[in-house]
Structure 1
Amino acid sequence: MSIERIFTKPPSAQGQQEHEQVLVIAGAGIEGDRYYARHDEPGQNITLVEAEEIEAFLLAHERPYDLSITHRNLVTRGVRLNDLVGREFQVGDVRLRGVELCEPCAGLGGMLASPALSVAAAVKHFVHRAGLRADVLSSGTIARGAKVG
């Protein structure tokens, strides 16, 4: 039960950036991420997704291995994120609160669609499996390999 990969997308960047570790600020999220200090939606501080769900999608649709495809910040392994909705939990030394499932939208569907896979089918695949939105309750550093619990 750990963090396998860490991604951010700076406000001015086109693509995502991968990190070995990131600074996380209570009530604001990951420093430098496009959603840092924004409060437009609940749980906007940080997003998590299960590596196993991404891998299932990639295998089912014969896609190259890429754990960044959902554009979530933290990719976990061995953690059932749906069970963390409404609960406080730790990622390394940082405390988070699971706010709600990060359900797929047409934007994600559009990024994942292909000639063989419609936007609707991509969205349907990730319903209840696209991750978790969370609030950051304490500041600290989250590093690759950090334990989740």
Structure 2
Amino acid sequence: MPQIVQLLASPVRRFQGRPADGPDPAPPGELVQEVRIRAGLGIVGDRYFAKPAHRDASITVIASESLPEGADLTHVRRNILTSGIDVDALVGSVLVLDTGDGPVRLKVQRPANPCAWMDAMIAPGAWRALRGRGGIRCTPLDDGVLRIGPVKVAIEAPPDPPSD
């Protein structure tokens, strides 16, 4: 059964500057048991919540199957770590996740391409190894709550664009 393995809602951006200089310190409590999502805005309390430059990609999702053993969301700075869902194949569709509080639809906009920080945070060669498997950037279409644990999954066609 598909699972949500980890959730990250961090108020700070940790990967700034050169990877060789290391990340900024992690704030306490950035790995959480549940996240509150607002349509068009992102995850409440996250660094990209309601930021105009990130509204079309305010939530990131990555599959645990893409990560080497021992790596987690603190290493890749994605918001949702899943198991049993091939998220990288979903660009252009709508990923629907329901952990028991109702469905949350995420419009999958584009891949979340890895960067050179992956070599510093996971291991040398991780940047290259994660190409094409770095997760997805999504726009939330619904308000809702997601929790760690089993998740019902559906894939929908994207909504039609508004007509003029």
Matched pairs, number:
135
Report if aligned partners of 1:46, 1:73 keep a CA contact under 8 Å in 2.
Answer: yes
The within-5 A match list for 1:27-66 is 27-41=40-54, 43-54=56-67, 57-58=68-69, 65-66=70-71
In structure 1, distance between residues paired with 2:78 and 2:4: 12
The within-5 A match list for 1:24-103 is 24-41=37-54, 43-54=56-67, 57-58=68-69, 65-68=70-73, 69-92=75-98, 93-103=103-113
Query: Which sections of structure 1, spanning at least 5 residues, go unmatched?
Result: 59-64
SS of match in other structure, 1:124: helix
In structure 1, distance between residues paired with 2:145 and 2:35: 6
What CA RMSD, in Å, does the superposition of the two structures yield over aligned residues? Answer: 2.0
Question: Which deviates further from its counterpart, 9-18 or 74-83?
Answer: 9-18
SS of match in other structure, 1:4: strand
TM-score by length of 2: 0.74
**Higher alpha-carbon Rg:** 2
Against the structure 1 CA distance between its residues 107 and 41, is the aligned structure 2 distance closer, same or farther, given a 3 Å change threshold? farther
The answer for the alignment partner of 2:26 in structure 1 is: 15
- 1:71-111 per-residue CA deviation (whole Å, 9 max, x = no partner) reads 11000000011221100121111111111110111233333
Letter in 2 for 1:126: L
Question: Which deviates further from its counterpart, 84-93 or 26-35?
Answer: 84-93
Letter in 1 for 2:26: G
TM-score by length of 1: 0.81
Against the structure 1 CA distance between its residues 94 and 12, is the aligned structure 2 distance closer, same or farther, given a 3 Å change threshold? same
- 1:42-71 per-residue CA deviation (whole Å, 9 max, x = no partner) reads 7421000001111xx23xxxxxx2422211
Question: Which deviates further from its counterpart, 24-33 or 10-19?
Answer: 10-19
Q: Percent identity?
A: 29
Runs of 4+ in 1 over 4 A off after TM superposition: none
Letter in 2 for 1:33: D
In structure 1, distance between residues paired with 2:148 and 2:52: 26
- 1:12-57 per-residue CA deviation (whole Å, 9 max, x = no partner) reads 8832611111100001100000011113257421000001111xx2
